[in-house]
Amino acid sequence: MNRDLAFSPNGRLPAAPGDLPPGAAAPVNRARTAVHHNQLDLASLLRIVREWRWLILAAMVLGLAGGIILTMLTTPLYRAVATLEVNPPQVQVLDKDDSQSQSFQSWDFIATQVGLLQSRAVAERTAQDLNLAANPAVAGTEGSLQDRLARATSVVAGGLNVTMPEEGTLIRYTYTSTDPQLAATIANGVADSFINAGLQRRFESSAYARQFLERQITKTRGDLERSEQSLARYAQAEGIITLSGGGQGSSGSPEAGNSLQGDSLAAINAALAQATARRVAAEGAYRASAASGPGSAVTASTQALRASRAQVEAEYSEKRASLQPDHPEMISLRERIAELNQQIAREGAQASAGVNNTLAAEYRGAAAAERALQARVNSLKGQVLDLRGRSVRYGILQREVDTNRSLYDALLGRYKEIGVAGGIGTSPISIVDRAEPAGSPFKPNLPKNLLAGLALGLIGGLGAAVGLDLLRDTIRTREDMRSKLGLACIGQIPKRQTKGDFVEDLKDPGSLVSEAYSATAAALRFTTEHGAPRVMMVTSTSPAEGKSSSALALAQNFARRGVNVLLIDADLRKPAFRAANDEIGLTKLLTNEEELLGHVAPTQFDNLSLLPCGTLPPNPADLLATARFGMIIEEALQHFQMVLVDSPPVMGLADAPLIAHTCRNVLFVVESARTRTRQAAEALNNLEASGAHLLGGLLTKASEANGNYSYYNYRYGELADKRERIALIPHHQEG
């Protein structure tokens, strides 16, 4: 006996957890919801590409056609390229005479030049310089001259494209036009107009600076003249006289030494010091002569002469502060001093005997001169102190004069600098490469357009394919059944590629369909702890998903392994299997108490029997809802090792839940790429609500794109002996 299935000692399939007695209560499973895991992973994307490859290819062809049409309809455009060099101004960081001085270049200057190059002012100047307003191809012929100039300016600005340099000082810009010669002309005209505009701005800024400085110099000159006049009037009113080359003190007032009183005080103070020295010397000589005796006395005449000389010398010293040495009065005083010196010398020679008298006279003369000079010094001190008090206002006026003079000198110097350097000079912009007429248009670019069209077509096709695939939302693969329905996929049946008889494929153990159902039958052995369930219902969401064919194939597969199988056609609305005798069948059994074996028909397959539907009843759900159906299943289990029930679809009918409540074990059939996820989930909810135990899902009519069936073709060799193939029953119809 075939050992694919385990048998109990009595020859029947062992009881499994799912083999509950018909009609017994079973736990109701929790309702499930459709789990939409529309994850676009690589495997899903490859599957979508395979399924929708013709749509994607059509979109790519449309993209290529669009690229060609776009190329043919696009007006050829020519691009002229020009390059400018920017020389930013250098700014001295240290003194220009310092050998360590450095300079830096401002990047903002280059950015400013790029902005100026793109300005409308440069475009308008270019249009004026090139007289584009008179060119009908640029400005047209309608409107006034000002309107045409505005249109030409817009054309120049619209075709200009300036590129900001990432490094260096080279500015590269392009101009685009439908005429290559015009593009080069305008590109070169922009460069020339840009340089000329820069030079004009520099000249205008210098002229404005000169005008501003002229106004400021005129104003400052008036302020300086008024301040000088105020200073002169105050000095005259207060009698303040300063000598040439005189300066100011820290307070801004005239220094005492630079005024007449100050100079006189300094001169007399010096003469006082000399007189004091002479008096001290004369006093010493006199006292020494007196100490030596009467012969050392000085005569009266000598003393008088010495006093006269001292007085004359004092007068000379006093007047020397205000009179020049060559003044007649000064010359007269010197002559008198010289004459007195001669007289003193003669008297000294004559009165050598009266030395003491002479020394005394000299001492008295020196003392008198000292006292006179001291009195004059005291008088000048008062005058100098009074001068200092009156010089405070003078210092304020003097500082105002100095401030206005410094400001006037600075403005005058700056005006002279602008006058020298305010000419046009050299421009910081120079032309490196002038634009040349392009030999071929840069746009349209056929290869680029074709590539873009191909890429857009591919993207559009993939997007449409993914969108349609998501909108369709059907179960296609094992993974879809697990992820979207939460149901284990115990088998996957490939779609038949030929129109041959399905029964013939089942008879050939090496066919793809037969191999797939064999794998499913083997997987059913692991759905319970004790092997395949003895009672199993096969259903689907909607009709024509392959449930009847699957029920027949599984029954034939188990029968081929030596299991005595009964296949019950419980679809009382549209049965798939009919016997020649319509008097027998499930409908009859449900309405009477006849024995099961009297309604069972044999088939062409060994160990496989069929309980057909029989006559179609008017009330299938009412018949299936009675306890009689459960009794029929119990009776079938007494005569057969396995019972497979082919039920109607779940959606829209009450038959399948009623049958599932009785059979308990349900194999759910899903047609690949046809059964919608939400409908399948609702069908599973209905089955679970009836207390059924879901064994798993069976994916039917799967294409090779959704799975790999190469292992089904693995054959040990051709069968040496083939059985005769005959019809299963008189009438057969796939579900």
466: in domain? yes
- pLDDT number for residue 710: 45
What percentage of the chain exceeds 90 in pLDDT? Answer: 24
Contact 662, 22 (CB under 8 A): yes
Contacts of 512 (CB under 8 A, 6+ apart): 494, 496, 505, 709, 712, 713
- Using the predicted structure, report yes or no on whether residue 28 has a pLDDT greater than 60: no
pLDDT at 366: 73
pLDDT tier at 732 (50, 70, 90 boundaries)?
A: very low
pLDDT above 60: residue 381: yes
- Give which of 124, 125, 127, 122 is closest to 138, Cα–Cα: 127
Whether residue 374 lies inside any domain: the answer is no
Contacts for 650 with CB less than 8 Å, ≥ 6 apart: 539, 540, 541, 656, 657, 683, 686, 687
Q: Which pLDDT tens digit goes with each residue over 664-673?
A: 999 999 998 8
pLDDT at 259 (0 to 100) = 59
- Angle (nearest 5°) at CA 694 between 674 and 555: 80
Torsion angle (degrees, nearest 10) of CA 668, 669, 675, 676: 10
The better pLDDT of the pair 244, 7 is held by: 244
pLDDT digits (tens, 9 = 90+) for 396-438: 777 888 887 888 788 777 767 665 555 455 677 888 888 888 8
Same domain, residue pair 466 and 608: no
Residues 6+ apart with CB under 8 A from 126: 132, 156, 186, 189, 190, 193
Contact 121, 193 (CB under 8 A): no
CA separation (Å) from 454 to 47, 63, 216, 465? 21, 5, 72, 16
Confidence check: pLDDT of 723 > 60: no
Residue 2: pLDDT over 70: no
The whole-number pLDDT of residue 16 equals 39
Whole-Å CA distances, 490 to 167, 493, 516, 591, 694: 67, 10, 10, 36, 11
Strands 103-104 and 535-540: unpaired
Q: Is residue 619 part of a domain?
A: yes
Lowest mean pLDDT among 2-6, 634-638, 685-689: 2-6
Residue 514 and residue 595 share a domain: yes
pLDDT band for position 215 (50/70/90)?
Answer: confident
Last residue in a domain, options 435, 470, 505:
470
Find the range with the poorest average confidence among 6-10, 174-178, 317-321: 6-10
Instruction: Quickly state the pLDDT bin for 229 (edges 50, 70, 90).
Output: confident
Same domain, 611 and 575: yes
Whole-number average pLDDT of the chain: 77
Q: Is the pTM of this model over 0.75?
A: no
Mean local confidence (pLDDT), 144-154: 87
Above 90 in pLDDT, residue 600?
Answer: yes
pLDDT of residue 632: 95
C-beta of residue 87 within 8 angstroms of C-beta of residue 137: no
In the block, tokens 């030494």 appear at 257
Name the residue with higher pLDDT: 442 or 453.
453
**Does one domain contain both 646 and 591?**
yes
Amino acid at 521: A
Per-residue confidence (pLDDT) for residue 623, from 0 to 100 = 92
Query: Is 70 exceeded by the pLDDT of residue 677?
Result: yes
CB-based contacts of 504, cutoff 8 Å, min separation 6:
725
What is the number of domains present in the chain? 2
| Element containing residue 540 per DSSP (H, E) | strand 535-540
- Distance (Å, whole) CA 495 – CA 728: 22
Residues 679 and 544 in one domain: yes
651 and 509 housed in the same domain: yes
Ranking 265-269, 310-314, 511-515, 517-521 by mean pLDDT, the lowest is 265-269
Examine residue 15 and state whether it is found in any structural domain, yes or no: no
The strand pair at 601-602 and 608-611 is best described as: antiparallel
User: Do residues 604 and 486 both lie within one domain?
Assistant: yes
pLDDT value at residue 293: 46
In the beta sheet, which residues pair with residue 670?
Answer: 699
Is 67 inside any structural domain?
yes
CATH, residue 678: 3.40.50.300
On whether residue 678 sits in a domain, the answer given is: yes
Is the pLDDT confidence value at 100 over 50?
Answer: no
In this predicted model, what pLDDT tens digit does every residue of 257-302 receive, in sequence order? 455 556 666 777 677 677 677 767 776 666 665 565 443 345 666 6
For residue 20, the model assigns a pLDDT of 44
d(C-alpha 263, C-alpha 426), whole Å: 59
Residue 593 token pair: 């108490």
Q: Position 730: which residue type?
A: P
Are 567 and 628 within one domain?
Answer: yes
CA distances from 103 to 85, 93, 96, 109 (A): 19, 6, 10, 15
Pairwise CA distance, residues 569 & 547, whole Å: 11
Q: Helix axis angle, 355-421 relative to 300-319, nearest 10°?
A: 10
Residue 370 resides in a domain? no
Nearest Cα to Cα of residue 487 among 527, 546, 518: 527
For residues 614 and 585, the answer to whether their CB atoms sit within 8 Å is yes
Same domain, yes or no: 457 and 565: no
Q: Does 455 reside within a domain?
A: yes
Of the two residues 46 and 22, the one the predictor is more confident about is: 46
Burial (0-12, 13-18, 19+ Cβ within 10 Å), 184 = buried
488 shares a domain with 455: no
Q: Assess whether 454 and 581 both reside in one domain.
A: no
**Element housing 81 (H / E):** strand 78-86
Residues 468-510 pLDDT 10s: 877 778 888 888 899 889 999 999 999 887 776 788 888 888 8
Residues 499 and 563 in one domain: yes
pLDDT per residue as tens digits for the range 519-571: 999 999 998 888 899 999 999 999 999 999 999 999 999 999 999 999 999 99
Q: Would you tell me how many other CB atoms lie within 10 Å of the CB of residue 298? A: 28
Percent helix, strand, coil in the chain, to 5, is: 55, 10, 30
Our measurement of the distance from residue 61's CA atom to the centroid of its chain's CA atoms, rounded to an integer in Å, reads 36
**Domain encompassing residue 525:** 474-702
Widest Cα–Cα separation across the chain? 201
Least confident of 81-95, 186-200, 238-252: 238-252
